[in-house]
Every structure is written in C-alpha cells, then in structure tokens.
Amino acid sequence: MAKTPLIDYRNIGIIAHIDAGKTTTTERILYYTGVIHKMGNIDDGNTAMDWMEQEQERGITITSASTVCFWKGKQINLIDTPGHVDFTMEVERSLKVLDGAVVVLCGTSGVQPQTETVWRQADRYSVPRILFVNKLDRLGANFERVIDESHERLGANSAAIQLPDGHEDQFHGIIDIIEEKYYVYKDDAGEDIDTLPVPEKFKAKVAEMRHKLLERLSDADDMIMERFLEEKPVTVEEIKSAIRRGVIACTFVPVLCGTALRNKGVQFVLDAVTEYLPSPLDIPPVKGINPSSKEEELRAPDPAAPFSGLVFKIATDPYVGKLFYTRIYSGTVNSGDSVWNASEGCKERISKMVLMHANRQEIVPSVSAGDIIALVGLKDSKTGTSLCDQTKKILLENMRIPEPVVSMSIEPKTKADSDRMGMVLKKFLDEDPSLRCTYNHETAQSIISGMGELHLEIIIDRMKREFNLETSVGRPEVAYKETVQRKVTGVVGKHIAQSGGRGQYGHCVIDIEPQEVRGTGYQFVDMIKGGAIPREFIKCVDEGLRMGLTSGILAGYPVVDIKVTLVDGSYHDVDSNELAFQLAAKNALKDALAKAGSIFLEPIMDIEVVAPEEYMSSAIGDLNQRRAKILSLGQRGHLKVTRCEVPLSEMFNYVNALRSLSQGRATYTMEPKFYDVVPKFIADKIIGERTASGHKR
C-alpha cells in the first residue's frame, strides 16, 4: 500500500460526555469510509469499536479503540474514547497524542459535566476541535441553545456552519451556511443525498447565521475582521481558509449538526475533519528534553528526522502479548529495529508492528512520522515511555495521570490463586496508570484504587472473564487524604541506636507547612548550610519523608499538599548511615503532623441532576441530606437541571435512590472536582471505623 503524504494525515479523536453518541458517530464514519459494510448498533452490542464484552453488555465505551480509514484522499487515524468519568484516563492519553478532535454534543442535553472535563483536557494539550451537535431527532433537541451553551460553559468561540431543517421527528435536511446549499436525505442509509438551493423560508435565517459566523470568525482572523468591518463580500474559499486557520490556532470552533443514529450529517463531519482539522505538519514540532544536556529540543514531523515516539497506551492481546500503542512524532522505524527507551535508559527491540482496527491487527513492515501504531516486543516500556533514536536521544513530556478517588479491598477466593492475582493485577496496572494497588500489612489485604465504582467493577469482571480468577471484594471506600492546617518550625527527628558494635545515628530538624494551592502535592526544600548533614544523607531524609507521607497519623491515609523544609541536623562520622536518616525523617514527620494539626480531606464531586419538574424538589431534598452545596438551578427543554457539589462518600448507590424517588425518570452525571476538608463529626467517625477495622493510628 502506497504511503499517504504527511499533509494528508488526520490524527483525530471522538470525545464527548457519556451517551452523546460518540461510538454511533464512529460506526457511521467507518461505514461511509468503507471500513465496514454493515452499520452496528449500541443497543445490539455489535459496533466495531466497542469490542469488549463489558462494553457490549453495558452499551458504553470503556477503553479507547483506534482504527484507520480514508476519506477524499485523506488518511484518518481515528480514536474513539470513553465518555464515562471513570475512564477519563483513556481520554487523557488519547488527547496527548492526537492532532485534532471531534467533540460530540447531544442536541437535547447540550453541554454536560463530562463535556466540560474533556474540553479542559483538550485545552491542556491545545488540541484543535470541531463540534458536532448530534441527536437532533430526539425530543427536546435545540441546535441554537446548544451553541449558546458552548459559549457560556465551554468558553468556546464557536459558530454554526450548518443549520438543521427541523428538530425531533421533523428533522428533514441540513443547510450549508457557507456555500448556501440545502441537502436532503432520500434514503434511510444516508447515502442518497440531493443538493438543492436554499428554500425561500430559510433565506433570512441563513443570512442571520452567516452574519453570526463572520462575526465570530472575525474575532479569530484579521483578514475576515477587515472584510467584516468594511462590509465587503467574503468568498466561500476565504471563509473556509479562515476557519481552518482559526481551528488550528484553537481560536475558533465550527459547529455542525445531524443525527448519527438516523445516518444524517456524518459525511459532512468527515468533510470538516479533512478541511479544517490539522495534519501533523500544521501543528508545532513536539518538545522534549535531551537526557544528556537537559536542554529543550524539538522534533519536526519529518520521516527523515531522528526517530521519536511516545507510548500512550498498553493493552494485552491473548495471542501476541502486550501491544504498545505509540504515536510516531518523527523519523522512520522498521520491524526488527532496536530503539532507545529514554524514560528507562535502556535499549528496546521492536519484533513486530501492527495497525489496529479496534481489536483486529494488520501487520506493517515500516512506520514513520504521523503514524499511530501498536508495537510488539518491548520489555521495559510503560504508559508515557519515550522511544527515540539511539544516537539522537530525547525525552518527551509525559501525560497527566489523575488521582484515584475510590478504593476497595480484594483477595483471591483460594490460596492457590494468591500468586496469580498478583500477576494479573500487574497486567492491569501496566495497562491503566489511573489504577493503583497497595498492600495493607495490618489487615493482610490488597487494596485497589481507581476513578470510580464502575472502574473497579470492570477490573474485577475482567479478572474473572479473561483470567478465570475468582475474587472476594470489600465495599468501595473513599480515597481520603490527610494534610496540615498550619506551619510548624523546628521539629526535631532523631534515630539513635547502639547495640554493642557499630550504632546508628541520624538527626534532622524540619519545618512543615501547608501548600498554598490545594493539589500541589509534596515539596521538599533543602536549606542545610555548612555541611550540618552531608549531601549523601539529604536524599535519605527526602526518601524517609516520602515513606512517612504514605500513611498519616489520623487513620493511615496518604498525606498530601505539604511543604517540608530541612533546616538543620547533625551526623556521626562512624554511626551515621542512610537508614538512620530515613528513620529520623519519619520520626520528625510524625511529630510535625501532630503539631501542625493534621486534618482529613475528601473528594468533592461535581453533580448534575436532570429530572422532570415534579421530581426536582424531592431530588434536591435528597441531595441536601447528602451534604450537597447547590450551585445552580436551570431549565433544559422540558426538564429541570440542578448543579451541585457533593462529597463522594455520600454518593455510593445514589443511582438507585434517584431512580426510586423519580420513578426512573431522573438522570445524573458525576465527576471529581477537588478535595476539601472533612467536617469534624465525619472525621471522628472515619477514625473510629478505621481503628475498629484494624488500621493502626
């Protein structure tokens, strides 16, 4: 197969809130590009991209899946991502390596909480976007209201480039605002489309929407602004060129419309992807650090440049073992080549390379800049590993990994499965960086932590199905944290032991204070002067503090958001060693936490509840009992909407409670927002429960 020129590549993702229609849109894209010959359906569990059993049963996307398709001479490397907040890591790592994204919005629900989350993730990586307002055939759909919400809630400089002819069951066709054409669908498959002049009844509306488009576009493009202010005509080509410039610069977002389930509008989304989203040549070169000089370097998207790539996802295949999904940023690499693992500082050999079509594989002999590929045979690579040329080394920026908020205990049902459970958990930990596993020596239990109840439930289910491993699980627990309230100075930590021979001597003095910004984490500052502690032992103090931070003094939860300054100490020429200073630091930290007023922090969730008006007061009453802070009340079509902040500890099994008080007619969405201080009466209860369950204070 001939290699596609780099300018014709489009590396894109489909991102959205759960149930906005991402997978259905992707399914239609694959059908119209000829990758599949029959359109699947979420309800039937037969879509190409949702291949896992758990995805087919639940009707949701759990893991991001990639494929390749072609449209009008352009190669589209496509990743379909999950919309559920529990699998936000899949969106994070996909956006890290993509050049553009299609954000799908529900025509009825509009901008939902997880839409805001994925939008912020796209902002973080400066990913150009187009918006597709889907499900305009549903009851309560309103295209213009959704665009208004994109301005207000996403802060997007967005404008429609299409206009729907009707909503709900009266959705007949699509009007192109730029070219002023009217498209009518003549068949159910959406393949037979008539192109007509704009009907007379729509001409005034099209003129109004075109004026709005130019007004929004003038904020992003100087040429359009000049024409707009001088009231000069703007050609179709000039508008399209300006939209492309604005999209690539992340200063403008075009909005399209349709209904993927009814096969209307998806071909125009493909047209917009090829016309407006960038090729690898349109985005800035990838940045990295030279491991030797520690200076910043750039890698241009050039097949002839030194090789560089980022492993962004690991999956386990039952036949070939681990698949390392990799974005190739520069250079060319062949099957059988050896490359440098810059993250681990070792050589890796690529035994095979495969192009992924969901869970199907196509072996390829060579890949180059712009490709998204799965590598086979790597030994030491993990999610976020930088691969590069052995003579031109570069360490690329890693991705952000979210902190888990829910934990549960897990143990094998038989002793014979103990070792096997450890190996299985290691495979899942390699695949999913947002999953954590620790061992509690006091209760002799393994604790797994993740992004939510569903996240952990899927892990347990996969253990049973894929590895035939039966486990017993404890009830989910909130991932509380501990921190300090005030600054304390001059806290002394000593470890002195004498057993007849060579002893142990470690002595350090620390200051401890809370970080100004919540979520900053742990910071260590070395203020030792005059050699009070030798340089080789200062690192040991830091290590001892880090070990101590894994278990706080209140109930054994991790300690976060503190700054520790090492100000003084002393050593013994013979008795001082690394272990002595680690233990001295742990002793100092324990004393400092007590003096600085250690407190609990709990995850606060951003909740949006949507319900018919007659049930909303009951829903709000229930939320108030759950310590909710109501932020806003509003209307969405015929439904009432409330937005609030609620502690995660109050939200377990909320879905059943909401269904019972609304006769199943209310829905809610939830995502982590921040950590906040736990009220004292709740903190006392937590300490009591932890002490009773065997956690030592």
Distances in whole angstroms, Cα of residue 162 to Cα of each of 33, 134, 143, 155, 662? 22, 13, 10, 20, 37
Please state, in angstroms and rounded to a whole number, the distance separating the CA atoms of residues 502 and 268: 78
Run of H or E including 446: strand 445-450
pLDDT higher than 60, residue 116: yes
Q: What does the pLDDT read at residue 56?
A: 56
Among the ranges given (71-80, 374-383, 403-412), the one the predictor scored with the smallest mean pLDDT = 403-412
Token pair 């040329």 in the structure block, residue: 389
Residue 92: per-residue pLDDT: 85
Torsion of CA 299, 301, 302, 303, to 10 degrees: 100
Q: What is the pTM of this model?
A: 0.75
Dump pLDDT digits (tens) for 173-212.
Answer: 899 999 999 999 888 888 888 899 999 999 999 999 999 9
Q: Is the pLDDT score of 652 beyond 60?
A: yes
Question: What is the average pLDDT across 382-392?
Answer: 90
pLDDT at position 224: 87
Mean pLDDT score of the chain: 86
Give the span between the Cα atoms of 584 and 545, in whole angstroms.
9
- Give pLDDT, residue 49: 59
Cα within 13 Å of Cα(604), Cβ side: 19
Q: Compute how many other C-beta atoms are within 10 angstroms of the C-beta atom of residue 278.
A: 20
Task: Report yes or no: 25 and 266 within 8 Å, Cβ to Cβ.
Answer: yes
pLDDT band for position 697 (cuts 50, 70, 90) = very low
pLDDT at 567: 92
Of 51-60, 295-304, 584-593, 685-694, where does mean pLDDT reach its minimum? 51-60
**Helix axis angle, 418-431 relative to 453-467, nearest 10°?**
120
**Interval 286-344: pLDDT, tens:** 999 988 888 899 999 999 999 999 998 888 777 778 889 899 999 999 999 999 999 88
How sure is the predictor about 696, in pLDDT bands with cuts at 50, 70 and 90?
very low
Please, which pLDDT band fits residue 45 given cuts at 50, 70 and 90? low
pLDDT at 58: 56
Region of poorest pLDDT, from 93-97, 355-359, 450-454, 596-600: 355-359
Between 628 and 64, residue with greater pLDDT: 628
Cα 689 to the center of its chain, rounded Å: 33
Confidence at residue 44, expressed as pLDDT on a 0 to 100 scale: 57
pLDDT digits 0-9 by tens, 545-557: 999 998 888 888 8
Q: What percent of the chain has pLDDT over 70?
A: 94
Q: Give the model's pLDDT for residue 674.
A: 85
How much is the pLDDT for 443?
61
Weakest-pLDDT range from 70-74, 161-165, 193-197, 461-465: 461-465
pLDDT score recorded for residue 18: 78
Comparison of pLDDT for 513 and 167, the residue scoring more: 513
> Nearest 5°: phi and psi at 595?
-75, -30
Strand ranges for 271-391 from DSSP E: 286-289, 296-299, 308-317, 321-330, 332-334, 338-341, 346-349, 352-357, 360-363, 366-368, 372-376, 386-388
pLDDT value of position 542: 93
Please state, in angstroms and as integers, the Cα–Cα distance from residue 25 to each residue in 67, 259, 263, 359, 576, following that order: 14, 9, 9, 18, 65
Give the range with max mean pLDDT: 243-252, 362-371, 424-433, 449-458. 243-252
Q: What is the per-residue pLDDT across 477-521, written as a single tens digit (0 to 9) for each? A: 788 899 999 999 999 999 998 766 678 899 999 999 999 888 788
Is residue 441 very low, low, confident or very high in pLDDT (cuts 50, 70, 90)? low
Portion of the chain with pLDDT greater than 90, in percent: 41
